[in-house]
């Protein structure tokens, strides 16, 4: 597994320690990326580990479930756990998924944690959406009253990229209409909300497409990197 990029997303060594504590106590699940059926030497095989908050029997009954998160979210998750315990993790996941947990889990403590978690989220975000030509009509129908930009991202005109600002409600509608969805917190913090890789594009190549749209670069070992301002280069 390639871990350099994942660890680079952690802000401090303390974040790393706390993440490992959550893993050891089975609040967080480590798992290989989804396209593990690729041949070992295939460029399309994602060799990264992914991380998820365990959500078994949380959003529906008799379920084996988790909420994927980026390592950059670790500080938020540990803050929620420190203040509210496992209920805090449930509230954070509910915010992130825009989904309500089972009724018996919605206690006074949950309401308090859910309200507290609001500070980690804006009412709307910019997104990069990737889809195929087959998905284009459905997606653009859903975006008909929303301002967006779109461009073709391959010479065969089979795949498109959209930049759009969405509310939580719009996010839910669009989620099932695209192959991949990236939430933009900043030019160097870009969260993968959904990923289904295209034929002909590896995981890293897909992220490079997103980076290009955002005016930054992507490197496997360092993640998204903003360009150095000209004045800084001149001063150096």
Whether residues 61 and 9 share a domain: the answer is yes
Decide which of 74, 103, 120 is a domain's last residue: 120
Q: Domain limits at 73?
A: 4-120
- Res 53: pLDDT: 95
Q: Which helix (H) or strand (E) holds 232?
A: helix 230-235
- Res 172: pLDDT: 84
Whether residues 41 and 100 share a domain: the answer is yes
- Res 22: pLDDT: 94
Q: Which residue matches tokens 């992220």?
A: 207
In a domain, 236, yes or no: no
Whether residues 111 and 98 share a domain: the answer is yes
Separation between Cα atoms, residue 92 and residue 149, nearest integer Å: 31
227 within 8 A of 215, measured Cβ to Cβ = yes
Any idea what the CATH number is for the domain that residue 218 is in? 3.30.70.120
pLDDT tens series, the chain, 236 aa: 334 444 445 567 788 888 899 999 999 998 776 554 545 555 545 556 778 999 999 999 998 899 988 777 888 999 999 999 999 999 999 988 878 999 999 999 999 999 999 999 888 999 999 999 999 999 999 999 999 999 998 877 788 999 999 998 898 899 889 988 999 988 888 888 887 766 667 777 888 889 999 999 988 767 788 876 554 444 44
Whether residues 116 and 25 share a domain: the answer is yes
84 within 8 A of 112, measured Cβ to Cβ = yes
- Res 88: pLDDT: 97
Whether residues 32 and 90 share a domain: the answer is yes
What letter does residue 103 receive in the DSSP assignment? G
Decide which of 93, 120, 147 is a domain's last residue: 120
Report field, pTM of the whole predicted structure over 0.95: no
In a domain, 232, yes or no: no
In a domain, 40, yes or no: yes
**What is the crossing angle of helices 168-175 and 133-142, to 10°?**
150
| Number of domains the chain contains | 2
């Amino acid at each position: 597994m390639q871990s350099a990029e994942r660890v680079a997303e952690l802000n401090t060594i303390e974040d790393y320690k706390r993440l490992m504590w959550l893993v050891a106590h089975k609040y967080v699940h480590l798992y290989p990326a989804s396209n593990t059926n690729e041949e070992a030497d295939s460029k399309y095989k994602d060799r990264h580990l992914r991380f998820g908050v365990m959500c078994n029997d949380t959003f529906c009954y008799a379920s084996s479930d988790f909420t994927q998160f980026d390592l950059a979210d670790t500080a938020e998750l540990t803050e929620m756990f420190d203040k509210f315990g496992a209920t805090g993790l449930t509230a954070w996941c509910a915010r992130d998924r825009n989904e309500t947990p089972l009724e018996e889990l919605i206690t006074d403590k949950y309401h308090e944690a859910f309200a507290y978690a609001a500070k980690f989220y804006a009412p709307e975000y910019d997104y990069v959406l990737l889809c195929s030509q087959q998905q284009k009509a459905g997606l653009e129908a859903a975006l008909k009253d929303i301002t967006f930009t779109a461009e073709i991202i391959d010479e065969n005109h089979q795949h498109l990229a959209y930049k759009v600002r969405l509310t939580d409600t719009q996010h839910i509608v669009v989620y099932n209409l695209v192959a991949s969805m990236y939430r933009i917190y900043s030019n160097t913090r870009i969260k993968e909300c959904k990923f289904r890789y295209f034929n002909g594009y590896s995981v890293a190549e897909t992220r490079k497409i997103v980076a290009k749209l955002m005016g930054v670069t992507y490197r496997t070992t360092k993640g998204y990197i903003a360009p150095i301002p000209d004045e800084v280069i001149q001063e150096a």
